[in-house]
Each structure stands twice: as C-alpha cells, then as structure tokens.
Amino acid sequence: MKFLIMRFLTRKICELKAALLSLQKIFVFPMFIHERDNWTNFSWDSEKINGLQLKAMHRLGYLAGRMASIGFDNQLIATVEAVTNDVVASSEIEGVCLDTDEVRSSVARNLGVSLDRDHDASHYVEGIVEMMLDASRNYSDPLTKERLFKWHRMLFPNAADMTIGAYRTDEMSVVSGTFGRERIHYRAPSPERVSEEMDAFLKWMNEEVNASYILKSAIAHLWFVSIHPFDDGNGRIGRAISDRVLAPLDNDNMHFYSFSRQILKDKRHYYKVLERTQRGNGDITEWLEWYFGAFIEAVENSSAVLSRVLRKATFWNAHSQASISDRQRMVLNKYLDGYEAKLTAKNWEKIADVSKDTALRDIDSLVKQGILIPTPGRVRDIPYSIDILGKKNSHKMPPYENIAIEEENGYHYITATYGNYNLHERIGEIDYKRWEAKEIDLQALAYKYFAYILD
C-alpha cells in the first residue's frame, strides 16, 4: 500500500511540474532579468542609495587626504600593493590561484617601482596584470569589443577548449548540484542575442551618464555579468570594467584600494545578492546596497594597507645604517607587510627555512641593535616586537595621550591623541591578542602604529 501511495504521489508531482512548465510557455513568465522587456531600465530606491554614496565619497576623500601627505614614492608602493591584491583576489574569486610575488613583481615593473626582491613572472601573469592596468590606467580610451577581445586573449593565452577573443557561440548557464539534482542559478541570454546586447552595453559605457562613478561601476558590473558574453573569464573582465569606471576617482593614476579583495572576503554574499538580482524584476536596490557597502569596506581596508606601507618606510629609514642580512631583511619585511603571526624563534625558523640555532642568532643580532624587543618576563617561546624607530631614536618616543582600543564592525582599532593630531588605526589581530595577554602595552602599540607621524 505504501509503495502504491508513493507511486501515485510521484506521478502527480511530475504532472504538476509539466503543467507549470506549460503555463510558463503560454504566459512567458520571465525567470531571469534579461527576459523582461527593456531589462536594462534598472530602478532603485534613491533614498537608500544616496546616503551610501555620500558615505563612500567621504571615506574615499579621507583616504585621498592621507595619501597626499605621504610622498610620491610611498604612494607608488601603496599602489603596487593595492593593484597586486586586486589582481590576485580577482583570479582567486574564480578559483584561480596566482603567485603573489610574481604578480607584485609584474605590477612593480609596469609601474616603474624597484622591489627588494624581484621575481620572474610567467607570460600568463604578465597578461593578467597588463589587462588590469590597461583597464584602470587607460580609462579614458573607449571601451570596444576589440579591446574586450584583447583582454580575453590575455586571460586565456593557451586555452584550446573554448572560444577565445570572441563572444561565446553556445548557451550558458550557471549550475550547481550533482547530476540529476542540478540547480540553475542563472541562464544568460542566448548566443544569438549577445552581440546586440553588448553593443547596447558598450554604447552606454562610452556615454556620459547622469550617475556617480561608483553607481555607474555597480550597474556596469551587473549588466556585463548578466550578459555573460564569453565562455569563461566574465567575472574577471567584469571586475576590470568596474575598475575602469572607478579609475577617475584615483589621483594621478594612484590606485589605493582593492575592491576585488573585498568581494573575495564576501564571496558567498556577493553571489547570493547577484543571483537574487538576476532573478528579480529590475529593481537593483539590494545589489547597489551590497556594492556600495563592499566599496566602503574596501576603502577602509586600504587604510590598513597604507599604515603598513608607512610603518615599513619609517622602519627602513630609521634603520638604514643597521647591519641586516638579506635573510633578516626578508623575515622583517614579511612581518612589516602584515604577516599575522607572533615573531618568535620558531616562526623565524619556519619562514627563513633555517635551523633553530640560526634563527636564534639572527634574532639575537637584531635585539643587540635595538631592532627587536623581547617580551619582558618570558624565557620560552619569547615573542618579539619590531622597534620601528630603534634605540638611537628612542628620545623621539612621544607621550601619546588618551590611548584606547576600540572595536568597530568586528575589527579592533587603536586611538590616541598626539599634539593636535587625533590618531586612529586598525590593528592586527595578533597585536590585539598580545595586548590582551599583557605581552605589549598600549604605549608600545601606539608607538608601533603611529611612529610614521615622527618620521
């Protein structure tokens, strides 16, 4: 009896599915955004978006002000880091892992910046870097299909199993799930429509539109990935297009934030909001709210990168006459670049790939020169702090006042006053834990994060 009931229910469910499919064919219910008439006439709730636009521009203005005060060389270094993060993260979103050192070296060579350690970059990495820099640094050049085809060839120089440097000729669906239980997240326009849809998109991209750069960037990203004109690489090219739209906001082609890294951090939410919008009715408010929020977070994160650049430059300027080997320099730079781990002999041994005795000798040499400071009261697994200004500049150590640790949006910040300056910097989680464990005090933390103000 139970078997017969299950057969009956299964048959009825199949009949119901068939009926629903028939109704959809008869009444042509649009399942995806591009199936609607005039689908690119997007709408949104201006009241919700206007406030986010103002907040985004305020944060960007604050960042630009900080960058203007640090000198051209440090601006270039910060730009190299931001572009490197963008290139690596944009590929990682699609499951492609690039060698960060290769990317950094390629970016630096393209921008004319000398690095302490140069790495040979593959032809593949060079192509991706060239594409990203072409998008952001040549933003005033028209965006044409020939330019997009060139970018596509840069992404896939050796691919033989798909159409390269041309629009796709096959249907395209974003599908997940096992065989027989597939779920279609999105189905792009048919290949017959792609050329016409892209012509409309490129015409809009090259026109002056009544929208802020950030708003146009958000719409451009959604529009392009919804057309999905290529067999593969649409996400990376879409993010390059977004960067092209945002590029006029950069001062003198100095790019200080990584939007792709923020998308990578929030990838699951990114895809969920994108899917809901692509299945929606043309109201893109939710997409814009997510996009502006991610942009604001990317700009705020760049302040942390900028602080690291400033601390690193201050450190090497203060210790320019110190006796430091190439190996010691490599490990110190790793920590100055934000490596999230305690500086101990054990970690030094692992990073430098040396014996424990060699690691201890390296550290002891730096302690004697006033470059590393051991945590008082510890005899085993001693954590060390990097002295940004060193012993010879200890007289400069300022009496920071009103020092406090605050939490904002899940991150920890150190705040202080020094003269007429109100100081505010995000601190690394390792430093926060060391402070909680009483391994480092507030004055030493302030000295580390605000040393650049004395340089």
Mean pLDDT value of segment 112-136: 88
Top mean-pLDDT range of 298-302, 328-332, 387-391? 328-332
Among 196-210, 340-354, 436-450, the range scoring the smallest mean pLDDT is 436-450
Closest CA to 157 of 106, 133, 123, 129: 123
pLDDT in tens, 21-44: 555 544 444 589 999 999 999 999
Class of domain 31-305: mainly alpha
Residue 11: band (very low, low, confident or very high) from pLDDT cuts 50, 70, 90: low
Q: What is the enclosing helix (H) or strand (E) of 334?
A: helix 326-336
Residue 365: band (very low, low, confident or very high) from pLDDT cuts 50, 70, 90: very high
* pLDDT given for residue 267 in this prediction: 93
* pLDDT given for residue 26 in this prediction: 43
Top mean-pLDDT range of 46-60, 310-324, 410-424? 46-60
Distances (CA, A) of 378 to 375, 435, 438: 6, 15, 12
CATH classification code of 311-454 = 1.10.10
* pLDDT given for residue 324 in this prediction: 95
Mean pLDDT value of segment 395-400: 62
pLDDT in tens, 167-207: 999 998 888 877 777 788 889 999 999 999 999 999 999 99
Q: Which residue has the higher pLDDT, 111 or 379?
A: 111
In the chain, domain spans: 31-305, 311-454
Q: Model-level pTM?
A: 0.78
Per CATH, 31-305 and 311-454 having the same topology is answered no
Whole-number Å distance between alpha carbons of 82 and 57: 19
Mean pLDDT value of segment 283-312: 89
Side-chain half-sphere exposure of 218, counting CA atoms within 13 A: 28
Q: What is the enclosing helix (H) or strand (E) of 303?
A: helix 285-318
Query: Is residue 108 over pLDDT 90?
Result: yes
Taking a C-beta distance cutoff of 8 angstroms, is the pair 427, 308 a contact?
no
Closest CA to 399 of 419, 385, 382, 413: 419
